[in-house]
Structure 1
Amino acid sequence: MFLVTEDFKTFIRKYPITTIMVGLCTILAIITTFLGGYTIENIIILGGYEHELVKQGEIWRLFTYAFMHGSYAHFFMNMTFMIILGRPLERALGSVKFLLFYLVSVILTGLIINFNYTPNTVETGASGVGYAFLGMYLFITLFRKKMLFSDDRKFVITFLGIGLLSSLIIPSTSLTGHLAGMIIGFIITPLLLKKGARFQNSVNV
């Protein structure tokens, strides 16, 4: 289920929201490169979250932070996760509900980061959304497990465990953003995911 098998044109047609979100992040990564790379100044210019700027009225940063990243490694890692984890969810929810899930996850995670901010730090990245995806998968694994193969359920639990462990041990990782995203994804899943929904080519096991 998590393996990407579509060619580029088919991918765009089947997963338009995933394509758009990855595309926006990629455009910002390209602009960042032309501006001289991932410096604090460029990250802030291109929409990174900074508490004092939000406090001064730049509330749009509570949304744009999710499309900017802190390094090339950060960018490539998050885009890989978005493609792997986002595709099946867009397929199960449909593009409209998936877009709603994406936007709600970004905004609510941004608000929680703002409420529980760390002074003198800049927050960036789509990691919160990635953990919201994991939160949805966790809900499915616990309460709608027939939607997934047993191997897929094991993958979700393993992936989530590795993600939470890395959040604790990797410096400069936003633990607040990761946990907030995961909890938000878990909570809003039953509001968006119908009990009869299923992943394409999945079977009840």
Structure 2
Amino acid sequence: MKEFSRYKVTYSIIAINSVIYLLSALFSGSIVDMDMHVLVDMGALYGPLTVLKGEWWRLFTAMFLHGGMTHILMNMVSLYIIGRGMEMYFDTKSYLSIYLFSGLLGGLVSLYIHPASVGIGASGAIFGVFGALAGFFIAHRKHLGEHTKAFMKEFTVIIVINLVIGFSIPNVDVSAHVAGTIVGFIGGYLLSKDPKFIGIYSGLMVLLMLAIMAYLPTMYVQTFT
């Protein structure tokens, strides 16, 4: 219980994803691989429905859906490792805002790059958390010194590995990963300087989301007609 109270945001997100995965497994009739039609019905990100039908809520629901056992295990283990570090350096509001905006904007970028694909998973948001930690260490590099250098070396290696994996394996959405990392980095840098900047950060991210959402319908009409 003490462990949960210390890392309550991370464990809560993992629990929510796990419960939703079990529900999708129940509807799919398999615990290993999810039925894509079930995932779309449950709120997966699918361009024609999200953009052309105005079902923008899918940007949020898709963050909690996963395509199979390997997919969710990789994401939840990653979140377990870096999420606890996030809670050591950021307050709850900062963590949640970075996580959500990274996932949402990662989804929007995915809709732009892959208009006809089905998008699911928490990886955009998780990469945002990783980016936020990078922003924290960069913002405090004068005080942290060698710790910053060590983290940035690890950060670079992990990013390169994920890019190689992403370009090598079909269905891995690198665009959402990159977008999530950038959004998280910006939030991590600003909010580690002062948590009161959360209003500025949130406002900028909302404006960016609205701008992309205003542009996408025009692009989709040209693509699908």
After superposition, residues 99-138 of structure 1 pair within 5 angstroms as 99-119=96-116, 121-138=117-134
Is 1:75 matched up with 2:67? Answer: no
What amino acid sits opposite 1:70 in the alignment?
G
What amino acid sits opposite 1:13 in the alignment?
S
Offset at 1:195?
Answer: 7.0
Residue segments in structure 1 that go unaligned for 5+ positions in a row: 1-8, 197-205
Say if 1:167 and 1:174, in contact at 8 Å, map to a contact too. Answer: yes
Is 1:40 matched up with 2:39? Answer: no
Say if 2:139 and 2:193, in contact at 8 Å, map to a contact too. Answer: no
Say if 1:22 and 1:79, in contact at 8 Å, map to a contact too. Answer: yes
What amino acid sits opposite 2:21 in the alignment?
A
- Name the counterpart of 1:181: 180
Deviates more, 1:179-188 or 1:76-85: 179-188
After TM superposition, the score normalised by the length of structure 1 is 0.82
- Name the counterpart of 1:203: none
Say if 1:28 and 1:46, in contact at 8 Å, map to a contact too. Answer: no
Of 5, 13, 35, the residue aligned with 1:13 is: 5
Of 22, 25, 30, the residue aligned with 1:30 is: 22
Offset at 1:104?
Answer: 1.5
Is 1:51 matched up with 2:39? Answer: no
**Greater RCO, 1 or 2 (C-alpha within 8 Å, sep 6+):** 1
CA distance in 2, matches of 1:91, 1:141: 13
- Name the counterpart of 1:200: none
CA distance in 1, matches of 2:66, 2:18: 10
What does the per-residue CA deviation read over 1:71-118, in whole Å, with 9 as the maximum and x for residues that have no partner? Answer: 110000000001101111122111121111112212222222223333
Residue segments in structure 2 that go unaligned for 5+ positions in a row: 196-225
- Name the counterpart of 1:65: 62
Say if 1:15 and 1:95, in contact at 8 Å, map to a contact too. Answer: no
- Name the counterpart of 2:167: 168
Distance 1:136 1:166, change over 3 A: same
What amino acid sits opposite 1:107 in the alignment?
L
Identity over aligned pairs, percent? 27
Indicate the SS of the match to 1:57: coil
Offset at 1:155?
Answer: 2.7
Say if 1:28 and 1:68, in contact at 8 Å, map to a contact too. Answer: yes
- Name the counterpart of 1:139: 135
Distance 1:123 1:160, change over 3 A: same
Say if 1:66 and 1:106, in contact at 8 Å, map to a contact too. Answer: yes
What amino acid sits opposite 2:192 in the alignment?
L
Deviates more, 1:135-144 or 1:72-81: 135-144
What amino acid sits opposite 1:186 in the alignment?
F
More helix by share: 2
Indicate the SS of the match to 1:43: helix
* Equivalent residue pairs, number: 187
Indicate the SS of the match to 1:193: helix
Say if 2:48 and 2:115, in contact at 8 Å, map to a contact too. Answer: no
After TM superposition, the score normalised by the length of structure 2 is 0.76
Say if 1:144 and 1:195, in contact at 8 Å, map to a contact too. Answer: no
- Name the counterpart of 1:6: none
